[in-house]
């Protein structure tokens, strides 16, 4: 652009585009950081509650049993990472199904599934205007749950995992944890029946 002349429209448009991208990246980064900070706070709070309920501090890789009548099990990542289950689980399922449930949760920890889900959720929170980012948490959750199901089925059999899923399907899981019955029950039962989910059911489950 020559001295004293007005900028061309394409130059103005280019500068505006750069400014918009810079603002979007800054806002997205702030959203990601805020989401990750909230997850760390939830993790600390949850560990504090578990210490109060059990009377012991959780150690890395530990297994905690809660005196609760509802059949529940879930894994909590971070430091320490651990698996939490209830006495109701033992009373509601045979031993082989209980072992399958615990194997499912341990597969989440081994595969660092919480990290994958957390990153997807953070990106969705930081970049909500991108359709792929908005949809990524649902896709990642479906994939990690099916991965953990498959791991448990290899050790304990697909039928045993299906029995556990159906028995526990009415009970929930803490929001920041990964639990066996948290997401996409029909899709996962289909995958366990056929050893792989049908494409049509996968599309329907993920919207």
Structure confidence by residue, pLDDT tens digits, 152-162: 999 999 999 99
Q: Is residue 152 part of a domain?
A: yes
pLDDT 10s digits, 33-61:
665 666 666 666 666 666 656 666 666 66
Q: Is the pLDDT of residue 176 over 70?
A: no
Q: Is residue 3 part of a domain?
A: no
Instruction: Determine the pLDDT at residue 94.
Output: 94
Exposed / middle / buried, residue 164 (Cβ in 10 Å: 0-12, 13-18, 19+)? buried
User: Across the strands, what pairs with 85?
Assistant: 65, 73
**Tally of domains in the chain:** 1
Q: Of 111 and 133, which is predicted with more confidence?
A: 111
Range of the domain at 88: 9-205
- What confidence tier does 203 reach under pLDDT thresholds 50, 70, 90? low
Q: Is residue 155 part of a domain?
A: yes
Task: Enter the tokens of residue 159.
Answer: 């039928």
CA-to-CA distance for 95 and 73, rounded, in angstroms?
14
């Amino acid at each position: 652009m020559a001295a004293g002349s007005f900028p061309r429209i394409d130059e103005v448009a280019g500068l505006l585009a750069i400014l918009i991208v810079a603002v979007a990246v800054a806002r997205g980064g702030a959203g990601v950081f805020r989401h990750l900070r909230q997850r760390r706070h939830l993790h600390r709070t949850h560990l504090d509650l578990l210490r109060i309920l059990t009377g012991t501090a959780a150690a890395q890789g530990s297994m905690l049993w809660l005196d609760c009548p509802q059949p529940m099990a879930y894994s909590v990542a971070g430091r320490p990472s651990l698996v939490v289950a209830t006495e109701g689980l033992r009373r509601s399922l045979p031993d082989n199904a209980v072992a399958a449930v615990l194997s499912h949760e341990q597969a989440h920890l081994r595969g660092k599934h919480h990290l994958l889900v957390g990153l997807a959720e953070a990106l969705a929170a930081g970049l909500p205007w991108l359709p792929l980012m908005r949809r990524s948490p649902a896709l990642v959750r479906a994939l990690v749950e099916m991965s953990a199901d498959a791991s448990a089925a290899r050790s304990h059999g697909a039928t045993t995992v299906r029995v556990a899923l159906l028995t526990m399907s009415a009970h929930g899981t803490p929001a920041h944890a990964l639990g066996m019955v948290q997401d996409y029950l029909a899709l996962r039962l289909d995958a366990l029946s056929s050893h792989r989910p049908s494409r049509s059911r996968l599309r329907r489950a993920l919207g």
